[in-house]
Structure 1
Amino acid sequence: MSSTETRKPTAADIGFDPILMAVLSSRFESIIREMTNTVMKASRSSVIKNARDMSCGILTYDHRLVSVEEALPIHVTALELTTQPITQLFDDIKEGDAYLNNSPFFGGTHHADLTLCVPVFHEGEPLFWTLARSHHADVGAPQPTTYLPYAKDIYEEGMHFPCVRIQEGFKDKADIVRMAKQKIRVNNIWYGDYRAQVGACRTGERRIKELIKSYGAATIKQFIEAWMEYGKRRAIAAIQQLPSGTFSYQVRHDPVPGVADEGVPIKAVVTIDSKEGLITVDVRDNPDCVPGGLNLSEACAVASCRIGVFYNIDPSIPHNAGSASRIVPLLRDGCVVGKPTYPIGTSCATSNCNERLANAVQCAFSEIGEPYGMAEGGGNFSAALGVVSGTDSRRKEPVPYITQLMLGLSGGPGHKGHDGWLTYECSVGNGIMVSDSIEVDEAMYPILIEERRVSPDSMGFGEWNGAPGTQGAYRSLTGDMVLEYCGDGGTFPARGVLKGKDGAPSGTWKRGANGHVDRLPDFHQEKVRSGEAVLFRSAAGGGYGDPLKRAPERVLRDVNKKWLTPEKAAEIYGVALTLSKDGIDYEVDAAATRRLREARA
């Protein structure tokens, strides 16, 4: 391959001033950053403002992704599907409108992700969409949660807004808001979170108009076309550095009684055409939709196919419609990881099977061999991310509450040159979500968090480790608390690749008032009474490469951080350690380590 083919294309290659391109791309990113900060600061529920389960983006009016900035990959990687139905359903879109879409059958991810979409006009011409997508703690399902693995169809999921015009003339449509408030629990929190999204989208709208006023509509339009072409050419150049071929990988979601008794096998077939700079991800050879909420929406399936590829190519490539065009997902109607058949349930579409699909795609690259690919990341989710609800009776007037906790994020996968990320959470979140602040959670809700720490010896052992899981415990301070969770990863943990070991599985337990501890099912609703506590361990990531090749200094660091015990260091890595003179930390015994590794070679 010639140097001309492998170098990164520049803005100058496509006839647009490279300095101006850098300025304008950064301006769009800064607009999204301001939108994101607006949602976080103005929202009321902890799952949005504390754990950051939200994202913002900008599309052209013809549904091409312009830019994202520090967003959840699953929220924005197929964002174009969210606005496409709006222009199909409405022929009178006008300035001042806002549309609410959370329908998996109209381009949404799942029903808990309410997406506000605002058209941006200039002199009567629609040019852009601003979008704010937030995961709401409740949308009115029969059970107090938004994750419903046993919900067979949308009629058991709560409110669906299939591209509903919720603002006109910059004002809320009172009847739509009233419908939502009537159905949704703790509706003052819901409405505050919705208004935060309105503030974000309107802020983005104003900033885009200011940008157009500064540079002119013609220049902005030229930039958009050049920016898309730049993303496309950068993606082609990156894919041309990969070996051509077809590679497949299969994962398995945990069993869910009555929904998927044997679990759900999920396979991805990745075909790399390095000459054309094109990657095809075929997920059609997978099971039909299951009778529960594990099915993916089309938006989630498309996004996960793209996400798994993006993780394996140059991370500096612009994530816009141009680069996405070089990844072709092949989906099947009525498939558990394809296009769902109305009205099948999809309430867990953003987690569970979705996380497994992204893993299958990213791990397929490891079939090429080192240094390509990565291991599996930890699954979603034990009671560490449980949805809790009840009544806070500590106040003069009892106050109902419902929220999703983010107390222990799953561990990331190992890959060549890097250990997994401790606060990774999942392949489709990739470290964007934030572990809850214990102090904030305890201030907002009547719970006490007794413990949160890294779970020792839980990582996926490898030359490059998968990150360990997190363990902890929490309990209610005001009587009965309802807990809901969907703990994938308890039966089939994250697997290692290329001789790397599996990560530790996730799990949930309950400690009774008498101190006795019982393991709870991995997919479950539990009433936690006074004096009882919930114990959890999040899933760890899989390891990459032979553990006996891990640098002894890295093993030592893990031991001194208390992530790894000296016994496991010797057993798994062949690294012998002795206490240092301070009697606290360890140091490597080089001679003993050499003997251990030679004996196991």
Structure 2
Amino acid sequence: MADGGPGRASARKAADFDPVLLAVLSNRFESIIREMTNTVMKASRSSVIKNARDMSCGLLTYDHRLVSVEEALPIHVTGLELTTQPITKLFTEIKEGDAYLNNSPFYGGTHHADLTLCIPVFCDGEPMFWTLARSHHADIGAPEPTTYLPYAGDIYMEGVHFPCVRVHENYQEKADIVRIGLQKIRVPSIWYGDYRAQVGACRTGERRLKELVKHYGIDVIKHFIEAWMDYGERRAIDAIKQLPGGTFSYEVRHDPVPGVADEGVPIKAKVTIDNRKGLITVDVRDNPDCVPGGLNVTEACVIASCRTGVYYNIDSTIPHNHGSASRIVPLLRDNCVVGRPQHPIGTSCATSNVNERLANAVQCCFAQLGKPYGMAEGGGNASAALGVVSGTDKRRKEAVPYVTQVMLGLSGGPGSHGHDGWLTYECSVGNGIMVNDSIEIDEATYPILIEERSVARDSMGFGEWNGAPAVKGSYRSLTGEMTVYFFGDGGTFPPKGVLGGLPGSGCGTWKRLKNGKLERQPDFDHCSAGEKEAVHYRSCAGGGYGSPRDRDPERVLADLNRGWLSPEKARSVFGVAARRGANGVDYELDMAGTAKLRAAKPKTTSRKAKSSSNRRRK
């Protein structure tokens, strides 16, 4: 994001803007985004948007500066300005009543499944804002019924691309454009309903912005925008100046994907903290060239992950707007797996997988500063726990095809100083915004039975501050064959701990055959399961922060009584002894036994990554 734009000079004089009004208006903008978000969630039809919240809304100034985000996925909104910049270059005339569709990775999109609706907002005839609604659609017309295509080497294998296409003019939908989606995308009624929910959200935002400008006056709103950007920048500068200076690097590795990345994909981030200028540079140029598949990360996602990894390590109350983002400078290169992929290379997995590893690398750079800085690696995405399922629902009078993405087991978050990881973290670029599916709603909507969803005991990344544990479970079809596509990462190289913390358990997918036998599946693949078969999954756990022997025994006891930790691991890993209490159910600390264990030299503890077969199934 360039440090500039119309009105920037006046921002330096923003100190004369009423601070109370600054707070009022910033909350008004956030409330507009909140209403947009609620509109998408309530009006959408697919479970991945409606229930799991794989969607985000945001507001930009007309000159593409991020004003505000509310509760949104970091990967969706932290580089949002790239989505509208091409529109003003491609169209010589942008009018009130227009709306544009953009899901092209080569025109500022995240990846092709994230269809973004962009609406210009005119106030008194002047273009002032963009409202945006970005939703992950379960199907976008690829040859296979999934949007995660690691073996798709180019966009011709990905489905429909709308590269900044005008879909509304004079507030009227252009039927010929919509007809492309209806013809090409599976279960078109679901797709169209999800798209219409985005339209409703952006038009709602447009109305609310017009009302806000009318109430306060256009000059006051313009002055607020500059004051708000300046406030975000000043807060970011102050936060960065409190960090130790220097250059730090961290390397991660994505699991192998045969034929695309046989040895996995190594990713390195180099973070330079200039605490005199209040500036952080994130250099990701020293990374491999693009791979021949869908693992390549788009420019919008790379920029978002670089900024996100930094935001995680500075004051969380800092506004995530253009001003604060201007103090984080990503350095990218062309034709890099985490850079600027060149048309027509495949990028279908750009929002997950390698991108999550990149965000982890950035956030873990700060752990090189030592305690209390930084964080461990968070869990990756995510086995059949987040599978794209498809089939035919035969429970009704007429058979109905279905395709959706389930969110049944989100990966565990990393440990950080003073905090255990979040159980519902999902991944480094989702950070707890997405939610687990409601089992009851999934079962009512689709012909699927959820047999189990539970926390996997002893799976967390052990540390002074634990990474969150993994989630395991299983599900099966009730009517005929079900196909499940999954895109796991972390089965071979699980999330690592930092500063003495241990790695979390890796992910995995298994198919339960009719005879009850479990058959391990490659981490990146698909399988079909009949009515008497089932799919089992385990998500990734987060890495630990600090030595497990430094963990407060009371916190170890709490994990025991949750059922997340076994007494054996409490003793061997944490040096904590416990016994059953008087009720015969709960554990209580054995203080003398704990003191003895911790006084002894601890045994070497480790969790080796189990290599899993990633051979592509035919």
Q: When the two structures are superposed, what TM-score results if normalisation uses the length of structure 2?
A: 0.95
Task: Quote the residue 1:144 is aligned against.
Answer: 145
Residues 117-136 of structure 1: pairs in structure 2 closer than 5 A: 117-136=118-137
Alignment map for 1:108-507 (pairs within 5 Å)? 108-507=109-508
Distance (whole Å) between structure 2 residues aligned to residue 147 and residue 383 of structure 1: 12
On the 8 A contact 1:100/1:166 being kept in 2, the answer is yes
SS at match of 1:570: helix
Code of the residue aligned with 1:557 in structure 2: it is A
Does the 8 Å contact 1:71/1:432 carry over to 2? Answer: yes
- Greater mean deviation of Cα atoms: 526-535 or 46-55: 526-535
1:578 is matched with: 579
1:480-515, Cα deviation, whole Å (9 max, x unpaired): 111101100100000000000000000000111111
Q: Map Cα deviations across residues 455-494 of structure 1 (whole Å, 9 max, x no partner).
A: 0000000000000000000000001111101100100000
Task: Give the letter aligned to residue 365 of structure 2.
Answer: A
CA distance in 2, matches of 1:14, 1:292: 50
CA deviation after TM superposition for structure 1 residue 229, in Å: 0.5
Matched with 1:526 is 527
- Superimposed CA distance per residue, residues 329-374 of structure 1 (whole angstroms, 9 cap, x where no aligned partner): 0001000000001100000000000000000000000011110000
Distance in 2 (CA, whole Å) between partners of 1:179 and 1:471 is: 39
After superposing on structure 2, the runs of 4+ consecutive aligned residues of structure 1 that deviate more than 6 Å are: 10-13
Identity value in percent: 75
* CA deviation map 1:65-92 (0-9, x unaligned): 0000000000000000000000000011
The residue number in structure 1 matching 2:34 is 33
Distance 1:11 1:588 in 2: 58
Change in CA separation of 1:457 and 1:12 when aligned onto 2, cut-off 3 Å: farther
The Cα offsets for residues 113-167 of structure 1, whole Å up to 9 and x where unpaired, read as 0000000001211000000000000000000000000000000000000000001
- Tell me if 1:595 matches 2:574: no
Letter of the aligned partner of 1:144 in structure 2? P
2:549 maps to which residue? 548
CA distance in 1, matches of 2:395, 2:216: 56
**Is the 8 Å Cα contact of residues 419 and 465 (structure 2) preserved in structure 1?**
yes
How much has 1:234 moved relative to structure 2? 0.3
What is the distance in 2 between the residues matched to 1:163 and 1:484?
29
Q: Residue 12 of structure 1 contacts residue 18 of structure 1 at CA under 8 Å; is this kept in 2?
A: no
Partner of 1:517: 518
Check whether the contact 2:376–2:497 (CA below 8 A) recurs between aligned residues.
Answer: yes
The one-letter amino acid paired with 1:52 is R
Shift of 1:14: 2.1
Counterpart-to-counterpart distance in 1, 2:339 and 2:138? 26
Deviation at 1:13, TM superposition (A): 7.2
Return the letter of the residue paired with 1:370.
K
Matches of 1:278 and 1:393 in 2, distance apart? 58
Q: Distance in 1 between matches of 2:463 and 2:337?
A: 32
Equivalent residue letter for 1:348? C
Output the CA distance in 2 between the equivalents of 1:528 and 1:291.
29
Distance across 2 between alignment mates of 1:439 and 1:48: 16
Q: Is the 8 A contact 2:449 2:477 kept in 1?
A: yes
Distance 1:209 1:548 in 2: 58
Aligned partners of 1:14 and 1:230 also within 8 Å: no
* Contact 1:502 1:543 survives alignment (8 Å): yes
Deviation at 1:12, TM superposition (A): 10
Q: For 1:375 and 1:99, how far apart are their aligned partners in 2?
A: 39
1:59 is paired with a residue whose SS is strand
RMSD over aligned CA atoms reads: 1.0
Amino acid at match of 2:154: D
Question: SS state of the match for residue 573, structure 1?
Answer: coil
Q: Could you give the per-residue CA deviations for residues 561-592 of structure 1, whole angstroms, max 9, x where no partner exists? A: 00000110001000000110000000010011
Distance in 2, Cα, partners of 1:11 & 1:17: 14
Structure 1 gap ranges (5+): 1-9
Aligned residues of 1:367 and 1:373 also touching (Cα < 8 A): yes
Alignment-mate amino acid for residue 60 of structure 2: L
CA contact (8 A) 2:14 2:227 kept: no
CA distance in 2, matches of 1:482, 1:373: 40
Equivalent residue, structure 2, for 1:64: 65
Distance in 1 (alpha carbons) for counterparts of 2:76 and 2:369: 29
Q: Separation in 1 of the partners of 2:457 and 2:466?
A: 13
Asked whether 1:24 is paired with 2:25, we answer yes
How far residue 598 of structure 1 moved from its aligned partner, in angstroms, is 0.5
Name the counterpart of 1:78.
Answer: 79
Secondary structure (helix, strand or coil) at the match of 1:235 reads helix
Task: Indicate conservation of the 8 Å contact 1:11/1:17, yes or no.
Answer: no
Aligned to 1:104: 105
Deviations 1:244-295 (A, max 9, x none): 1000000000000100000000000000000000000000000000000000
Contact 2:12 2:230 in 1 (8 A): no
8 Å Cα contact 2:413-2:541 kept in structure 1? yes
Residue 266 of structure 1 aligns to a residue whose secondary structure is: strand
Deviation readout 1:11-40 (Å, 9 max, x if unpaired): 997221000000000000000000000000
8 A Cα contact 1:377 1:412, kept in partner: yes
**Aligned-partner residue type, residue 583 of structure 1:** G
> Structure 2, unaligned stretches of length 5 or more?
1-10, 603-618
Q: Separation in 1 of the partners of 2:233 and 2:74?
A: 19
Give the whole-Å Cα distance in 2 for the aligned partners of 1:450 and 1:172.
Answer: 43
2:611 equivalent in structure 1: none
Q: Contact between 1:78 and 1:302, CA under 8 Å: does it hold in 2?
A: yes
Aligned length: 592
Paired residue type of 1:134: S
**3-state SS of paired residue (1:34):** helix
CA distance in 2, matches of 1:355, 1:334: 19
Match of 1:6 in 2: none
Whole-angstrom CA distance in 1 between matches of 2:14 and 2:601: 54
Distance 1:397 1:581, change over 3 A: same
Letter in 1 for 2:527: E
For residue 212 of structure 1, give the secondary structure of its aligned residue in structure 2: helix
Task: Supply the distance in 2 between the matched residues of 1:600 and 1:337 (Cα, whole angstroms).
Answer: 43
How far, CA to CA, are the matches of 2:357 and 2:419 in structure 1? 21
Tell me the secondary structure at the aligned position of residue 452 of structure 2.
strand
What SS is found at the alignment partner of 2:272?
Answer: strand
Q: Report if the CA contact (8 A) 1:103-1:162 is conserved.
A: yes
Distance in 1 separating the partners of 2:394 and 2:339:
45
- Asked if the contact 2:14–2:226 (Cα under 8 Å) also holds between the matched residues in 1, the reply is no
Would you say the 8 A contact 1:11–1:18 is kept in 2? no
Shift of residue 392 of structure 1? 0.2
Aligned positions of 1:45-56 closer than 5 A:
45-56=46-57
Query: Structure 1 length normalisation: TM-score?
Result: 0.98
Contact kept? 2:466, 2:543, Cα under 8 Å = yes
CA separation of 1:573 and 1:13: change in aligned 2, threshold 3 A? farther
Q: 1:579 corresponds to which letter in structure 2?
A: R
